[in-house]
Amino acid sequence: MTRLGDLERAVMDVLWDVVPGTSDGVTVREVADALDGRELAYTTVMTVLDRLAGKGMVQREREGRAWRYRPAASREAHIAQLMLDALDLGGSRDAALVRFARSVTGTEAEVLRAALGSEAGLTGADSSGGRAGAELTDRVDGPAGRRAADEAAER
């Protein structure tokens, strides 16, 4: 997955924050207006959105003479893919995972345990899975998030 530059990330943040999963998306003008503190030209925002579409980060649909843009995947799916890509940089994946696991807070560790427990098929009041795992799974939006999870499970 592609890492984003500062402006690309700002545009994606607008899309992730403004466009609900059921929305038809937003126009270039709406994104430019949401980036009000940056004083960017309309054409600059249009170019960034076009490049993000080329990278597969956004989906766009023609509406009259304009395009409507929406994220191709959730913020969480994007971050998860960045983490998986970082694990592929070299060295020992196991060592990197252990180092990461030791660096998380107690609450974050519980979330990871719950997610792993739900992946293992644990349900209900089980202390290592249950509702927290289901809530975590619910946060992964749409098919792109499920694809990222499936790809991670295959590794």
Percent of the chain whose pLDDT exceeds 90: 41
pLDDT value at position 146?
Answer: 43
Sign of CA dihedral 90, 93, 98, 103: positive
If phi > 0 it is left, if psi is from -120 to 50 it is alpha, else beta; for residue 26 that is beta
pLDDT at 47 over 80: yes
pLDDT, tens digit, for every residue of 67-87? 999 999 999 999 999 988 888
Distance CA 125, CA 109 (A): 18
Residue 49: closest CA among 11, 93, 90: 11
Residue 29: closest CA among 51, 14, 17: 14
pLDDT value at position 135?
Answer: 45
Please say whether the beta carbons of 52 and 5 come within 8 A.
Answer: no
Q: Identify residue 64 by its one-letter amino acid code.
A: G
Please say whether the beta carbons of 78 and 40 come within 8 A.
Answer: no
3-state helix, strand, coil in the chain (%, to 5): 60, 10, 30
Token digits for 83?
A: 């983490």
pLDDT value at position 117?
Answer: 87
pLDDT value at position 147?
Answer: 44
Q: Identify residue 62 by its one-letter amino acid code.
A: R
- The neighbour count for residue 47, using CB atoms within 10 Å, is 14
Distance CA 70, CA 21 (A): 8
Distance CA 93, CA 60 (A): 36
pLDDT, tens digit, for every residue of 127-146? 444 444 444 444 443 444 44
pLDDT, tens digit, for every residue of 113-124? 898 888 777 544
pLDDT value at position 3?
Answer: 77
pTM of the model: 0.69
Give the pLDDT band of residue 126 (cuts 50, 70, 90). Answer: very low
DSSP designation for 72: S
